[in-house]
Amino acid sequence: MAEATFKLSNDVEIPEMGIGTFQMPVDAAEQAVVDALNSGYCLIDTANAYMNETGVGRGIKRSGVDRADVFLSTKLWPTVYTDDNAVDDTLKRLGTDYVDLMFLHQPAGDFITGYRQLEKAYKEGKVKAIGISNFQGEKLQTLLDNAEIKPQVIQAEAHPYFTEDEVRQTLKPFGTRLMAWYPLGHGDKSLIHEPIFAELGKKYNKSSAQIILRWHTQMGFIVIPGSTNPDHIKDNHNIFDFELTEDEMKQIADIKKNIRYYAPSAEAEEKYTKMELDFKSEK
């Protein structure tokens, strides 16, 4: 079974799985992108705040894979939401004249102005799809009330212990697709070692991590596990030669605990609003 894509609400096709580059230094991100693209990945995710966009851009070029065959997503940081050059500066760091998906990274600062920037870039063809990240509750509703173009993707924490049900229900009328970060529960061994995953792993000759990643795609989630280990990168992507049954998906649903590993706070949002990024250090 070949890797499939999801169709976003604007008919853009997005791969079901990609590699995330969170917490990767520039050179490590570059090599991870090369390894991922050479292992069959088509989706690469980065962000202003990861401080590795230049490395990601170099990795795409080094891989030899045609830019048109790479789905590239990145995120604007709150301190640049009001900077008219934010999108162009991001494209410059990535070494590309467009990105396939651009997010607002946090519901902080002047996010309505930031979203207007994404809508403008979308109309100009610099951004093929619009996303939001970590939005929920009142701020999510405020953004939706003010959005001319509803977000096609939301990036949020999701894994078998936590499936972001409330946010997904709010966004369901707009066909917004969820992209999952912390897809393996932030390395929580209690999640990885749930008996159901060992049982299914034995049946399908897969690791528990591969079972969880396959669960994500069958839930309809885009999933972006991160790794700099070439073997792990290959293994994470090797999930499209089997399919969990409806009964097995229900068994996994039974372990949901509504446990999340990241809880947004007012203090964190204030930090996001003020945290300037030093792109000079990104070489």
Which is nearest to 9 in space by CA: 103, 129, 126? 129
Indicate whether 5 belongs to any domain.
no
pLDDT of residue 3: 63
Instruction: Assess if residue 95 is contained within a domain.
Output: yes
Assess contact for 225 and 20: CB atoms under 8 A: yes
118 within 8 A of 102, measured Cβ to Cβ: yes
What sign does the dihedral 53-56-62-66 (CA atoms) show? Answer: negative
Residue 44 φ/ψ, nearest 5 degrees:
-125, 130
Are residues 152 and 8 in contact, defined by beta-carbon separation less than 8 angstroms? Answer: yes
Would residue 280 count as lying in a domain? no
Tell me if 103 is assigned to some domain.
yes
Q: Is 204 a catalytic residue?
A: no
Asked if residue 282 belongs to a domain, the reply is no
Residues of the chain with pLDDT under 50: 1
In this structure, how many other beta carbons lie within 10 angstroms of the beta carbon of residue 136? Answer: 16
End-to-end CA distance of the chain: 39
What local confidence, expressed as pLDDT, does residue 275 receive? 85
Q: What is the DSSP letter of 190?
A: H
What pLDDT is attached to residue 143?
A: 98
DSSP state of 115: H
CA distances from 128 to 33, 84, 199 (A): 21, 18, 41
Catalytic residue among 41, 50, 81, 115: 50
Task: Specify the pLDDT at position 270.
Answer: 81
- pTM for this prediction: 0.95
Count of domains observed in the chain? 1
Domain membership flag for residue 8: no
Task: For the chain, give the number of residues.
Answer: 283
CA–CA gap between residue 33 and residue 19 (Å, rounded): 8
Cα separation, 26 vs 3, in Å, equals 28
* Domain limits for position 162: 16-275
88-121 CB burial, b ≥16 within 10 A, e <16:
ebbbebbebebbbbbbbbbbbbebeebbbbbeeb
106: in domain: yes
CATH number for the domain harbouring residue 28 = 3.20.20.100
Residue 254 lies in a domain: yes
- Going by the DSSP 8-state scheme, the letter that residue 65 receives in this structure is -
What does the block give as tokens for 209? 């991590």
